[in-house]
Structure 1
Amino acid sequence: MSRPASQRLKIGLSACFQHADPERPLFKGKTLQYVEQSIAHWLMSAGAMVVMVPCPTGETARGDVSLAHYADWLDGVVMHGGADVWPGSYGEEPLQAAWMGDRVRDLYDLAVVEAFAQAGKPIFGVCRGLQLINVAFGGTLYQDISTQVPGALVHRNAETYDHHFHDIDLVRGSHLSLLYPGVARARVNSIHHQGIKQVAPDFSVEAWSVPDQIPEAIRRRFIRGQAFIAATQWHPEFGSISEPTLDPNPILRDFLNACERAKNRPLRGHSPFRIRDRAARLLRHALLRRR
C-alpha cells in the first residue's frame, strides 16, 4: 500500500535560474526558476516528495518566507547542476569572459547550503552542486580543466552531453566504496569543464577520474553530531542504456537514509561561514543592486 504523505521524506531541490531577458518571447523580462525533470524523478523513485526551494529575494519579493524556513521544514536538500561557478566565489578573477558563471545563482546556492547546514540537515550535490559545496566550505576550482590541467581528459562534450563517459576509481575504504562492495573502478557520465582544484578542509575525496585524477566525489569527514554532506561530479540521475554505468541507487539510498536519521534524531547545526546568514544577506543586497 502506498505510504501517506506524512510518512514520506520531503527533499528540497535547489532552483536553476533563467535571468530576466527582454528579448525572450515567453515570460518576457521575467526571472524563471525551475528544476530539471530527471533529478526530481530520481529522488521521487525512492518515494521522496520533492520541493523546489525558490529564491525568496529579488525585485518581486513579498512576505517573510526565508531559506531558513525551508531548511527547518524539509528533511534534506539536493544542490542541482547547471551554470559555471563564478570564480570570485573562491577568490579568483575569471580567466576568460566565457567562464564568468552566474554570481547571483552562486549567492543563492551558498545561502541554501548555509541554511541547511545551520539546520543540521543532509546536503547532497550533483555536478555544479559538488563544486558549489566545495567552494562553500573553503575549496577552490579549476575554471577550465582542459586549459589548466595538462593532459587532462575531455570532461565535457557539448555534442554528446550526457552520453559522454569516463572511468573513475573509488577510494578504497571510503564510505562511497562501502556502498559498492567489490567495485574499484566504474564508468560515469561527464558533463563539466570546471572541477575541484583544492578540496575544502574537512572533506575527503572518495573517487577520482582516470587517469587525470580530478576529484569526482567528495564527502565531509565524519564528525559526531554533524549532518551528512556529500556530492558527485557526475549526474547519477541521468540513466544510460548505451554504457554500463555505476548504479545510482546506492548513492540515493545513502542520502535518503541520512535524511531519515536526521528527521528522527535532529543534529546540531553548523554554518560554513564565519557570520551566520552572511550568504543570505549578500544575495539580498546583490539582487537589490540589480533593480
Structure 2
Amino acid sequence: MGNEFPPRIGISARLRPGVADAPGNARKDLLGAERSLVDLIAERGGLPLILAHPSSFDRAALRRLAQQLLQGIDALLLQGGGDLSPQWYGGATPATAGVDLARDEFELALLEAALTGGKPVLGICRGCQLLNIAYGGSLFQNLQAERAHSIAHSDRGRYDDHVHGVRLAPGGLLHASYARSEGRVTSAHRQGIALLGNGLVAEAWCSEDGLLEAVRSEGGWAVGVQWHPELQAGKPALLPPAPLLDAFLGAVAAPQRDFRNRAATWQ
C-alpha cells in the first residue's frame, strides 16, 4: 500500500491590516486565507497549510524561510490579494499605497523555491501575476488607465458577483480539464498581464477585451488564473473550481522539472 497521506498544499498567507481606531482585535494585523479557499483544498483531498512570514525579516531571511517551508509541502498555492509593487517588473512609478513589499519578497522566494524544486504551483489572481513576473513578464499597473478598451476587471462593491467571459486556449490544460472552450468567471483585479513571461504560454483570455486571463509554464506544472475558483463553487453559471483543483492536486504525484528561461528581473 502506498503513502495515503493527503498532499500538503502550502497557501501563502495574505495580510488583513489592522485599523488603528477600530474596536477590539480589528486593530490587529491578521495573516491567513479566505475560508472558501481552505475549504476547497480540503474538500478536494488536500491538506491546506498556511505559510506566513514575519514582518521583521529582511530579504535574505525571507528567502531562507521560504526554502525551509517548501521542504514541508508538496505543492504551492499563491492566493489573491493586493497589488504587486511595480519595482519587480520595471514599472514606471514607485510602490503605491497598499503594496505589501514583505509579502512580495516572501512569495517570490516561495515561488522560486517551488519551481526549482519541481513542485506544482497554482497562482490565483495576484498569484497569476506573480508567476508572470517570475518568468520575466510585466504587468499593467492599472488596467483601465493603461490599456485601451479594457473593461472593468474589478468592482469593489460587487466583488465576487463581478464576472466576465473567458475563452480557453484550444489544446491547453484548461481546455482539456474543462472539456469546453469558454465559460464565465469572477473578476476582482486592478492589475493584469502586459508582457507574457518567457517560458509561459497563454491558457485563456477575457472574451470582452482580450486580456490574458490564464497562463501555464512550458516545463513542469505551474498554472496561473486571474479569476477566483474558490469563489465560484456552487454557482452553475460560472466555471466550477473542481477541474482546475483536481488537475493541481493530481500533479503532486507526477514528476516535475525545474523551470527554465526565467529572466529574474525582480531580484
Coarse TM-score class (shorter-chain normalised): 0.7 to 0.9
Would the alpha carbon gap of residues 175 and 121 (structure 1) be closer, same or farther in structure 2, given more than 3 Å must change?
A: same
**Worse-matched range after superposition: 171-180 or 228-237:** 171-180
Among 225, 233, 236, the alignment partner of 2:229 is: 236
Query: Could you say what the CA RMSD is over the residues aligned between the two structures, in angstroms?
Result: 3.0
CA contact (8 A) 2:186 2:232 kept: no
Q: Which residue of 1 aligns with 2:69?
A: 70
- Amino acid in the other structure paired with 2:211: I
Shift of 1:102: 2.2
Could you state the TM-score of these two structures normalised by the residue count of structure 2? 0.87
Q: Which residue of 2 aligns with 1:255?
A: 248
Q: Which residue of 2 aligns with 1:80?
A: 79
Q: Which residue of 1 aligns with 2:122?
A: 124
Deviation sequence 1:265-287 (CA, Å, 0-9, x none): xx454585769xx96xxxxxxxx
Among 34, 37, 40, the alignment partner of 1:39 is: 37
Shift of 1:231: 1.0
Q: Which residue of 2 aligns with 1:193?
A: 190
Q: Which residue of 1 aligns with 2:142?
A: 144
Would the alpha carbon gap of residues 70 and 242 (structure 1) be closer, same or farther in structure 2, given more than 3 Å must change?
A: closer
Structure 1: gaps (5+ residues): 280-291
Partner secondary structure for residue 166 of structure 1: strand
Partners of 1:238 and 1:151 in 2: how far apart? 26
- Amino acid in the other structure paired with 2:206: S
Among 211, 214, 218, the alignment partner of 2:211 is: 214
Shift of 1:18: 3.8
Partners of 1:30 and 1:188 in 2: how far apart? 33
Q: Which residue of 2 aligns with 1:163?
A: 161
CA contact (8 A) 1:87 1:101 kept: no
Larger Rg: 1
Structure 2: gaps (5+ residues): none
Partners of 1:256 and 1:114 in 2: how far apart? 19
Shift of 1:241: 5.6
Could you state the TM-score of these two structures normalised by the residue count of structure 1? 0.80
Shift of 1:101: 2.5
Would the alpha carbon gap of residues 205 and 18 (structure 1) be closer, same or farther in structure 2, given more than 3 Å must change?
A: same
Q: Which residue of 2 aligns with 1:54?
A: 52
Would the alpha carbon gap of residues 20 and 114 (structure 1) be closer, same or farther in structure 2, given more than 3 Å must change?
A: farther
Q: Which residue of 2 aligns with 1:287?
A: none
Deviating above 6 A after TM superposition, structure 1's stretches of 4 or more consecutive aligned residues are: none
Shift of 1:15: 0.7
CA contact (8 A) 1:163 1:240 kept: no
Among 158, 174, 188, the alignment partner of 2:172 is: 174
Would the alpha carbon gap of residues 268 and 150 (structure 1) be closer, same or farther in structure 2, given more than 3 Å must change?
A: closer
- Amino acid in the other structure paired with 1:67: A
CA contact (8 A) 1:56 1:67 kept: no
Partners of 2:22 and 2:263 in 1: how far apart? 37
Would the alpha carbon gap of residues 273 and 121 (structure 1) be closer, same or farther in structure 2, given more than 3 Å must change?
A: farther
**Worse-matched range after superposition: 33-42 or 236-245:** 236-245
Deviation sequence 1:226-274 (CA, Å, 0-9, x none): x310010000111266660112111001000101224xxxx45458576
**Worse-matched range after superposition: 190-199 or 112-121:** 112-121
Partner secondary structure for residue 111 of structure 1: helix
Partner secondary structure for residue 73 of structure 1: coil
- Amino acid in the other structure paired with 1:193: R
Would the alpha carbon gap of residues 193 and 249 (structure 1) be closer, same or farther in structure 2, given more than 3 Å must change?
A: same
- Amino acid in the other structure paired with 2:69: Y
CA contact (8 A) 1:122 1:255 kept: yes
Q: Which residue of 1 aligns with 2:5?
A: 7
Q: How many residues align?
A: 262
Q: Which residue of 2 aligns with 1:184?
A: 181
Partner secondary structure for residue 167 of structure 1: strand
Partners of 2:14 and 2:100 in 1: how far apart? 11
